Amino acid sequence: MTTLVPFVDLKTQYRSLRSEILPRVTQVMEDATFILGPDVARFEENFASYLGSRHCVGVESGTAALQFALEAFGIGPGDEVIIPATTYIASAVAVSTVGARPVLVDVDSTYFMDPNLLDAALTPATKAILPVHLYGQAMPMEPILEFARRHDLVVIEDAAQAHGARHNGRCAGTFGHAGCYSFYPAKNLGAYGDGGAIVTDDAAIADRLRLMRDFGQRKKYEHLVKGTNCRLDSIQAAVLDVKLTHLDDWNAARRRHAAAYDARLSDLGIATPVRRSDESHVYHLYVIEIEHRDRVASALRDRGIQTGIHYPIPIHLQAAYAELGLTRGAFPQTERSAERVLSLPMFPELTEEQIDLVTGALASAQALVVA
Ligand SMILES: Cc1ncc(COP(=O)(O)O)c(C=O)c1O
């Protein structure tokens, strides 16, 4: 079956950007400024200013951003970090990579860590809390910040899916001590390869992060700390700097598509994603919950419509996290949604016709699975 509606469509986006992107990328090659060239500094400055943060440090991925942020705040072996049970594995892996232990808490109906469950997760070893702005919705941060203040915890936000999402006018990723972003190609702001960044208002932390990503050197061959090689590369920074100027328009387009889905799905009696406010969601993913999810997804595939599942197996049930000693039943909300979530095609260039194809196919699939 040929694909009628892809899950994301990066090729169409590239065609519309080619004339802006190629000169910037070519310039990096002409100037041979591949490593920490002016494009990196320029993008860091522009991204920080877009978000309303003082500093931005580009690194090689979103996972590296999380890991570095934790490390920069001194989180390591013996420490515990509270994370939501529903998130991409990277949020947990970053904690494990620095030698700390991820402590999972269940989520609420908006897939955010449930603030009511934080007290139970707290131990004397808790050093940080890592809320995730999942699917592109900015999490209301007040209860998290309050809890962190009360218990003297570092707040590292995982905003890997939420570029430009705002809560009360403020961007996701700028509420805590540091915010981490991924520029994986399919993200709302995506590179043409891997990339990531940390933003913070703390100049000393930003300085430490810059040392950590480049062998601990401020001056070539003078290594002040044992840093590593984890830099955002200049070609990716050049691409991102062009794309950043389109981010608000793309996010607005995603919101329009979400509203169109909302209207059509309500007619079908399918529950639509819970939205906190008009500007809180940038719909990195448009996620519904549905009975017989796998059969519905397969019926859509038969009609040429790609979908995704974010995420089919919760972290505590992954072989990689057997060490947590948790079994089915530990996080009911997370486990229930893992069986029901279905991500519909969502990208700025999506057309009305494609949305009609998706919702038409959903209507038929529903009739099929119920019959
Ligand atoms: C919530 C979340 N955190 C972290 C990451 C890690 O980002 P990256 O793939 O750039 O390492 C991702 C990316 O998929 C993500 O969705």
Average pLDDT, rounded, for the chain: 97
Asked whether residue 57 carries a pLDDT value surpassing 80, the answer given is yes
Asked whether residue 278 carries a pLDDT value surpassing 80, the answer given is no
* Cis geometry, peptide bond prior to residue 311 (ω within 30 degrees of 0): yes
Confidence of residue 370 (pLDDT cuts 50, 70, 90): confident
Ranges in the chain annotated CATH 3.40.640.10: 10-244
What's the fold here for domain 10-244? Answer: Aspartate Aminotransferase; domain 2 (3.40.640)
| CA gap 347, 190 in Å, rounded | 12
Q: Is 61 in the pocket of ligand 1 (CB under 6 A)?
A: yes
Residue 327 CA, ligand 1 centroid: distance in Å: 25
Ranges in the chain annotated CATH 3.90.1150.10: 247-370
Q: What is the pLDDT of residue 235?
A: 98
Please choose from 83, 182, 188 the residue to mutate so as to test ligand 1's pocket, defined by most ligand atoms within 8 A of CB. 182
Q: Is 87 in the pocket of ligand 1 (CB under 6 A)?
A: yes
User: Two tokens at 341?
Assistant: 């979530």
Q: What is the pLDDT of residue 367?
A: 83
Each residue of 196-250: pLDDT tens digit? 999 999 999 999 999 999 999 999 999 999 999 999 999 999 999 999 999 999 9
Residue 62 CA, ligand 1 centroid: distance in Å: 5
Rounded mean pLDDT of 348-357? 98
Global pTM reads 0.98
| CA gap 126, 151 in Å, rounded | 9
Each residue of 81-100: pLDDT tens digit? 999 999 999 999 999 999 99
Rounded mean pLDDT of 262-276? 92
Residue 199: CB partners within 8 Å, gap ≥ 6? Answer: 47, 48, 51, 53, 55, 56, 57, 173, 174, 178, 179, 181
Q: Is 236 in the pocket of ligand 1 (CB under 6 A)?
A: no
Higher pLDDT, 107 or 275: 107
Of all atoms in ligand 1, which is nearest to the CA of residue 161? 16
Closest CA to 240 of 132, 157, 163: 163
User: Two tokens at 273?
Assistant: 């994603």
Asked whether residue 282 carries a pLDDT value surpassing 80, the answer given is yes
CATH architecture of 247-370: Alpha-Beta Complex (3.90)
Residue 31 CA, ligand 1 centroid: distance in Å: 31
Q: Are 276 and 249 in contact (CB under 8 A)?
A: no
